Amino acid sequence: MAVTNGVNGNGHEQTNTVLITGAGGWLGGILAGELLSDPLTPNVRLILCDIVEPKAPKGAKHVVTRKADLCDPKEIDALFNTEFGVPDTIYCFHGIMSRGSEDNFDLGMRVNIDSIRAMLQASRSARPPSGEPIKFVFTSSLAVYGGPLPEVVTVDTIATPEGAYGMGKLSAELLVNEYTRRGFIDGRILRLPTIVVRPGVPSAATSAFISGIIREPLHGVEAICPVGNGFDSPELQLAAWVASPETTIKNFVIAKHIPSSKFLAHTRVVYLPGFTTTVKQELEALEAVAGKDALKLIKFQDDPINRRIVGSWPARFDNSYPCGLGFVADEGGMVPIVRRFKEAVEAGLA
């Protein structure tokens, strides 16, 4: 028997069926678990897919997992024809990360643009039981920005990427906006801060070191810092716009529930709230939480390409618009984030 959640205002069945692409990644996996306890998404049914079959979260009663190559439209179509039917909400998380896109341009084009368009086409052709357009939550990036930027980025700042990853994300954003304008989907585009501290192994993201210089020392292993040649290097003043994983996941859930009418009329783009930190401030927070021995595990190998790409991204934003929509921001800077991660490591959770 199908699991349902009542009837909406139009007399249609509501199923709370959520598809997450890229669900094998750590953010997708955490989000799946978070949705299980979301009171606004009761009896959620999860369709989880990735290039490697993702794991179902603990406690999930209604979940389908799929290994899928989303560059193949047939495999995308199959996600809309599981035993749960058409999803009400899609979290489109899959993609090739920043350095990976720069190093393999053609693969980045196929995954970060072509597969997103195929997902949008499938969403356009389908209608969930609610009769409403599918909510399509797309994760974008600060990499869409580049060139001369104002001191503080606002909703009116024009995106001009300086890398293949940012170009791909911006291209997909335009598609999500257009499909929303035409009523094919109900898009929500989230430009993510750099998320710190990411657990697990380093990713292919150019910004991966921003987590690595915290994560690895707290695990007792060496970390490579590709910025500067020592603790006194002026390059350590490189700034980044960051947010914790916990706050980011909260904002993913919030994005699903924001009424369409609250977004700006001309765009569904929202940069998520964050705060500014420098590489130097990160290392100072690491020392404050874990002591000088942790700093001894930092090894410097300056990488001008890495610095150029990360340095092209803005590091200061006006949080007024996203917070006005209901999104939330971290408080207290890097120290509480580093402390939480240290506690997670000590508990065997990270």
Same domain for 36 and 162: yes
Q: Is residue 201 part of a domain?
A: no
Of 145, 165, 179, 321, the catalytic one is 165
Task: Give residue-wise pLDDT tens across range 120-169.
Answer: 999 999 988 889 999 999 999 988 998 899 999 999 999 999 889 999 99
Task: Give residue-wise pLDDT tens across range 166-222.
Answer: 999 999 999 999 999 999 999 999 999 999 999 887 776 778 899 999 999 999 999
Same domain for 137 and 173: yes
Q: Is residue 8 part of a domain?
A: no
Whether the per-residue pLDDT at 17 is higher than 50: the answer is: yes
Q: Is residue 249 part of a domain?
A: no
Domain count of the fold of the chain: 2
Same domain for 66 and 93: yes
Same domain for 169 and 87: yes
Same domain for 107 and 40: yes
Q: Is residue 292 part of a domain?
A: yes
**Could you tell me which of 121, 122, 112, 107 has the C-alpha nearest to residue 47?**
122
Say what the pLDDT of residue 3 is.
36
- Distance, in Å, from the CA atom of 76 to the CA atom of 121, rounded to the nearest integer, reads 10
- Distance, in Å, from the CA atom of 177 to the CA atom of 269, rounded to the nearest integer, reads 8
- Distance, in Å, from the CA atom of 259 to the CA atom of 263, rounded to the nearest integer, reads 8
Residue of 8 and 310 predicted with greater confidence: 310
CATH number of the structural domain spanning residue 154: 3.40.50.720
Q: Is 321 a catalytic residue?
A: no
Q: Is residue 234 part of a domain?
A: yes
Residues of the domain holding 302: 208-242+275-317+325-347
Same domain for 175 and 215: no
Q: Is residue 73 part of a domain?
A: yes
- Distance, in Å, from the CA atom of 253 to the CA atom of 35, rounded to the nearest integer, reads 7
Residue 323 has φ and ψ, to the nearest 5°, of: -70, -30
Task: Give residue-wise pLDDT tens across range 30-67.
Answer: 999 999 999 999 999 999 999 999 999 988 889 999 99
Q: Is residue 270 part of a domain?
A: no
Q: Longest Cα pair distance anywhere in the chain, in angstroms?
A: 65
